[in-house]
Amino acid sequence: MLSDSERALEAFIREPSFPCVGAKSALGKGQLTTYVARNINSAWNDVEIHDQLMQFAWRYRDNPTLFTSFAVIFEGLDDLDEARFEQHMWDRIQSLTEKDSWRGQTPDPRVSADPADPHFSLSFGGEAFFVVGLHPKASRPARRFAYPTMIFNLHDQFEALRAQNRYEKLRGSILERDLELAGSANPMLAVHGTVSEARQYSGRKVPDGWSCPYHRGESSTAADPLGEMEPS
């Protein structure tokens, strides 16, 4: 049975004005995987989130399917401004990355693990991902959802769309719909490979000179990040 927050996400995506037709397709095909967590400022659920994300990546690798996404919905802290949401989002991403490395997962070689590189993407379970952050106080209407949420999308899907000559049409449709919804173009959007996509994750308009608070080190078993859980 779906939780209230999961039903709310489905309703948000189904709204006629919601611009991302890829998310609509994932939901329509029953290919939107969701996980409900506590607070975005807490590591309490990070082990389970990483487990789910890694399994999601492996299932995709075994059976590549277009329009599939993994969403983590955090049911606490719905009063975050854009800067605080961004901070907590990157804290979660850093924690998940450290668990990925500790478990011996190596970054997807098709992308860069350096957040300053124009070809940067996150990697979990050996597959490249980018993140779309949603929260109640987002300045862009397409990102303004009742719960802090991180949606993980696989880069390989978009490479598949490019190979099928479908990517530009899909991207153009999303940009047109977002412009109609917001009344202005999203200043953070850019084609992968021109600037680092890390600037787009939170949805905040980051200033020139913004530095991504993230790094990926070498895989190591020296420390056990799986034990980094908080009591509340």
Q: What is the pLDDT along the chain (232 residues), one digit of tens a residue?
A: 899 999 999 999 999 999 999 999 999 999 999 999 999 999 999 999 999 999 999 999 999 999 999 999 999 878 899 999 999 999 999 999 999 999 999 999 999 999 999 999 999 999 999 999 999 999 999 999 999 999 999 999 989 999 999 988 988 899 899 999 999 878 777 766 678 999 999 999 999 899 999 999 865 444 455 554 443 3
Query: How far is the CA of 59 from the CAs of 33, 64, 98, 187, in angstroms?
Result: 12, 8, 21, 34
Helix intervals (H) in 80-211 = 82-102, 155-163, 167-182
DSSP 164: T
Q: How far apart are CA 226 and CA 45, in angstroms?
A: 10
Helix intervals (H) in 15-143 = 21-28, 46-62, 82-102
Model pTM? Answer: 0.92
pLDDT (tens digit per residue) in 26-38 = 999 999 999 999 9
pLDDT recorded at residue 192:
63
Structural tokens at position 76: 């606490």
Q: For residue 67, give the nearest of 153, 169, 184 by alpha carbon.
A: 153
